[in-house]
Amino acid sequence: MAASDAPNGDVLIRNAFGSVLAFLILLLIGVLAFSIRLFSVIKYESVIHEFDPYFNYRVTQFLTKNGIYDFWNWFDDRTWYPLGRVIGGTVYPGLTLTAGTLYWFLHSLNIPLSVETVCVFTAPIFSAFASWATFLLTKEVKGVGAGLTAAALLAMVPSYISRSVAGSYDNEAVAIFALIFTFYLYIKTLNTGSLFYATLNSLSYFYMVCSWGGYTFIINLIPMHVLLCIVTGRYSSRLYIAYAPLVVLGTLLAALVPVVGFNAVMTSEHFASFLVFIIIHVVALVYYIKGILSPKMFKVALALVVSIGLAVCCAMVAVIIALVASSPTKGWSGRSLSLLDPTYASKYIPIIASVSEHQPPTWPSYFMDINVLAFLIPAGIIACFSPLSDASLFAVLYIVLSVYFSGVMVRLMLVLAPAACILSGIALSQAFDVFTRSIKFQLPSLSDHSHIDARDASSENIVPDDTIKTDKSEDTPKERMTKRSKKKEKEPVEKPPTKFQIKKRLSVLPFEASIIAVILLVLLVAFYVVHCVWAAAEAYSAPSIVLTSHSNDGLHVFDDFREAYAWLSHNTDVDDKVASWWDYGYQTTAMANRTVIVDNNTWNNTHIATVGTAMSSPEKAAWEIFHSLDVKYVLVVFGGLVGYPSDDINKFLWMVRIGGGVFPHIKEPDYLRDGQYRIDSMATPTMLNCLMYKLSYYRFVETDGKAFDRVRRTEIGKKYFKLTHFEEVFTTHHWMVRIYKLKPPKNRIRGKNKKSKSKTSSTTTSKRKGTRRNPF
């Protein structure tokens, strides 16, 4: 017994050592996930990025200031003027509540972090959580080694980094964590059949519903997996426990979120789950009856049940079809429909199509966003099939669906990223497993020949030592996750090594080949790491409200947006309305605290079309539209001077299209010369006279004498003109933002009087007035 006790203790210690090591690696992965996202803070500053995060930031500010109940009831009158927006009922509250809770927690400890700081660092914190969740999920699918590999891959996958750098305070930041964690709990329930995990799973699903509209992905993917399991004969009571509570509890909980509400049972996105819910009950009934009846009786019963079940199903299907057919969009929301039919949006909803992240991705963007994972995924799929379990089936289904969705919309590349990481993690871990095992089995045999004389009890100690050493020297350049495989190797190595000499000899690869393969794999992973760090540092860290450029005399900072917003917030009246294209709505309300007409929550197409129409109308018509909306200031973004490409002139065609979609007198061909969009001397007169052109290029010619637009790389068509109804009140340092004030109506009357007295007023004004007066 003494002999058997010692190794037993040894195993215990080894297990403890292994789990501590795994814990440590996980901790380091968390640190990695957090710190790789801090490039934006280090290179720029701790600031909220882009557009949507500013809205979330503003909501969080409101939440922390006024409390949760005021938040639910918040009617925001500073946006969509004069309609306003019910924020509490139209926003996914998960992110805001998370950051708010974090803020309250910190303040209850008297740690005075500002709301902004909490918001900036929410995304990196949650990406650490997400990588841990990935570990758990992959562990359930393919074991600890694959889990650690996948977690490390996810910690730095560029696709996810792009949405979760410090400052990118967007829904996706927490939603990806919620997504992976929900999947983990689903698989965990599936593997254990524990009702406890099933309940947790519905709660996690609830959090996901709170966080992101992408929860429909979960509520479609899981039923599909369940269906697949049933079809392939993998039905078990565990599957039932994993699925049924999720649908019932999850749907009830989801309906609690104001923005979802009855959509949780009314829209077609959720129907798949209900259908499968019925199917799984039918199947469960069949299995139950099969259990209590003798085979003969069962055959009789089967016919009965199948016929009844079919009838019920047909009835349900009929009801559903009737329901679906009765709604105009077939019960699908526009974004979901454009997922099923990629051409839908560009045909019917220009607003959705106008957003660049709703476009299909190009191949380079796959390489940019998931890099070498794209090549590892097939290997991962193969690894999942040997052996195929419920969990690995889920992983396969997940990757297949997310590849399809990411092909439809760039934005959903984000959903693909975790799947890619999980499968690549499995692939890498299995590959390393095979290669290191083949190396290891052959190493002792090599050393056998050298130590053949000293083959004694002591040789048993020497051999494993050697193996460990060689393993270590190989592992040092490897990634963190391979440490885990090292650990795994150590376990068997410390056991009598001779035992493995024979074991699985057949599956062992040639020694040299496996060494080379390991080196190649390490190189591949190293390349991935280099790419990720580069992407995090260079490609995805720019906050987009501050731009920088490197010139001969060093770094040049373009801080024009904040300059303009600061000017608006300090030098205009607090109730003034600012009109701009919807892209800048969130930033204007958040940074300048001024009322805007439209913003990035594009819920009212007509309103946006009104602004688009105003921008594409001639000055006077535009003035009338804006005046009717009580607009005081008009803000345009103009990149022609410094070459900032995403300015309003480049977006202008969308304004025309969206405006023309509602107001037919705006026609796109009027703005195009022979189907080409141009602003040079060949441009159409409609283009040269529209408000956007005028506001962008007003007095532009005086900068360099030629009016050379550096974005369009051409001289503009109409260089000298005056504004009659607008007045320039502010232009930022690099002319990137120009703010105009609507001239008050009484000024025009005075101008008219003046004109009738003396002919000194500007010629354009008098011409305009002249044409207007003629009919009377």
Partner 1 sequence: MLRFALTLLLFTLAFGVLSSSPVFSDLILAKVDRRIDLTSQIVRITTSLKVENAGSNPISEILLSFPENQAKHLAYLTATLNEGKGKGKASSGAGLPTEVVIPKDVPDSLTFYSLSLPKGLGKGESLLLDVLAVFTHALEPFPEKISQADIQLLLFQDTAHFLSPYKVMVQSLAVKLPEARVESYTKLEGTKLSGSELKYGPFHNIPPFSYLPIIIHFENNQPFAVAEELVREIEISHWGNVQVTEHYNLFHGGAKSKGEFSRLPCFCDYEFLCRYFVRARPYVRGASAFRRLVARLPPRAHSVYYRDEIGNISTSSLWGDSKKTELEIEPRYPLFGGWRTAFTIGYGLPLRDFLFESDGKRFLNFSFGSPINELVIDTLIVKVVLPEGSKDISASVPFPVKQWQETKFSHLDLVGRPVVVLEKNNVVPEHNEHFQVYYKFNSLSMLREPLMLIFGFFFLFVACIVYMHADLSISKSSASYLAKVQWEEVQATVQQIHNIISHCLTAHDKLEASLRDLSRTGDVQACKATRKSVDSLLKGVSKDLKPLVTFLQSSPQAAHILPKVEELIAKERDLQERLMAKHTTVVDCYEKKLGGREIENRIASNQQKITSLRQEVDDLMDFIDEI
Closer Cβ to partner 1, 41 or 175, answer by number: 41
559 vs 630, which CB is nearer to partner 1?
A: 559
Separation between Cα atoms, residue 750 and residue 745, nearest integer Å: 9
Our finding on whether 1 is near partner 1 (CB under 8 A) is yes
**Residue 111 touches partner 1, criterion: CB under 8 A:** yes
Q: Would you give the distance in Å from CA 152 to the centre of its chain?
A: 19
CB 707 within 8 A of CB 700: yes
- The set of residues, in sequence order, having a beta carbon less than 8 Å from that of 32 and lying 6+ positions away, is 131, 152, 155, 156, 480
What is the DSSP code string of 330-368? TT--HHHHHHHSTTHHHHH-HHHHHSGGGSPPPHHHHHH
Nearer to partner 1, 51 or 654 (CB): 51
Q: Which is nearer to partner 1, 563 or 668 (CB)?
A: 563
Whether 398 and 419 have beta carbons less than 8 Å apart is answered as yes
Piece in contact with partner 1 (CB under 8 A), picked from 45-53, 86-94, 302-310, 332-340: 45-53
Pick the binder of partner 1 from 307, 628, 703, 753 (CB under 8 A): 703
Among 43, 65, 347, 455, binds partner 1 (CB under 8 A): 455
Tokens 């065609």 map to which residue? Answer: 653
Task: Determine which residue in the list 13, 19, 20, 45 makes contact with partner 1, applying CB under 8 A.
Answer: 45
Q: To the nearest whole angstrom, how small is the minimum distance from the Cβ of residue 351 to partner 1?
A: 28
> What's the min distance (Å) between Cβ of 500 and partner 1?
8
**Amino acid, single-letter form, for residue 505:** R
Single residue of 729, 755, 761, 769 touching partner 1 by CB under 8 A: 729
Question: Residue 524: helix, strand or coil by DSSP?
Answer: helix
Task: Please give the single-letter amino acid code of residue 536.
Answer: A
Chosen residue from 103, 206, 344, 735 binding partner 1 by CB under 8 A: 735
Stretch in the footprint of partner 1 (CB under 8 A) among 318-326, 328-336, 473-481, 729-737:
729-737
CA dihedral 403, 405, 411, 415 (to 10 degrees): -60
573 binds partner 1 (CB under 8 A): no
Give the whole-angstrom CA distance, residue 126 versus residue 181. 11
Residue 110 binds partner 1, judged by CB under 8 A:
yes
Q: Collapsing DSSP states into helix, strand and coil, what is residue 297?
A: helix
Tell me: does residue 760 bind partner 1 (CB under 8 A).
no
Asked if 744 is part of the footprint of partner 1 (rule: CB under 8 A), the reply reads: no
Q: Applying CB under 8 A, which of residues 3, 292, 322, 454 lies at the interface with partner 1?
A: 3
Exposed/middle/buried for 94, CB within 10 Å: 0-12, 13-18, 19+? buried
Is 4 a residue that touches partner 1 (CB under 8 A)?
yes
CB of 513 to partner 1, least distance (A): 24
CB of residue 46 vs partner 1: minimum separation in angstroms? 8
Q: What is the rounded radius of gyration, in angstroms, for the C-alpha atoms of the chain?
A: 32
What does the alpha-carbon distance between residue 161 and residue 155 come to, in Å, rounded to a whole number?
A: 8
Residue 496 interacts with partner 1 (CB under 8 A): yes or no: yes
Is 746 an interacting residue with respect to partner 1 (CB under 8 A)? no
By CB under 8 A, residue 47 contacts partner 1: yes
Identify which of residues 553 and 674 has a Cβ nearer to partner 1 in the complex. Answer: 553
Task: Decide: is 733 part of the binding site for partner 1 (CB under 8 A).
Answer: yes
Q: End-to-end distance of the chain based on CA atoms, in angstroms?
A: 116
| Total residues interacting with partner 1, rule: CB under 8 A | 45
How does DSSP classify residue 301?
H
Write the Ramachandran bin of 432: left for phi over 0, alpha for psi from -120 to 50, otherwise beta. Answer: alpha
CA distance 742 to 424: 58
Closest approach of partner 1 to the CB of residue 727, in Å: 6
Q: Which of residues 583-602 bind partner 1 (CB under 8 A)?
A: 591
Site for partner 1 in 278-307 (CB under 8 A): none
- Out of 730, 752, 755, 769, which residue is the one contacting partner 1 (CB under 8 A)? 730
Q: If we measure between CA atoms, which residue out of 126, 170, 39, 33 comes closest to residue 535?
A: 39
- Using CB atoms within 10 Å of the CB of residue 275, give its burial: 0 to 12 exposed, 13 to 18 middle, 19+ buried: middle
To 10 degrees, the CA torsion angle through 506, 512, 515, 521? -90
Considering only residues 553-572, where is the footprint of partner 1 by CB under 8 A? 553, 557, 559, 562-563, 565-567, 570-571
Q: How far is the CB of 115 from partner 1 (least distance, A)?
A: 11
Q: Return the number of the residue (15 or 327) whose C-beta is nearest partner 1.
A: 15
Of residues 290, 451, 699, 748, which one binds partner 1 by CB under 8 A?
A: 699
Give the CA distances from residue 405 to residues 169, 210, 261, 400, 414, in Å, rounded to whole numbers and listed in that order: 23, 21, 25, 9, 10
Instruction: CB nearer to partner 1: give 162 or 459.
Output: 459
Nearest-angstrom CA–CA distance, 506 and 624: 83
Judged by CB under 8 A, does residue 754 bind partner 1?
Answer: no
Nearer to partner 1, 529 or 578 (CB): 578
Binding residue for partner 1, selected from 203, 320, 382, 546, defined by CB under 8 A: 546
Q: How do beta strands 595-596 and 577-579 pair?
A: parallel
Contact flag: residue 630 with partner 1 (CB under 8 A): no
Q: Is 224 in the site for partner 1 (CB under 8 A)?
A: no
Interaction site with partner 1 (CB under 8 A): 1, 3-4, 7-8, 11, 45-47, 109-112, 455, 495-496, 498-499, 502-504, 545-546, 553, 557, 559, 562-563, 565-567, 570-571, 591, 699, 702-703, 727-733, 735
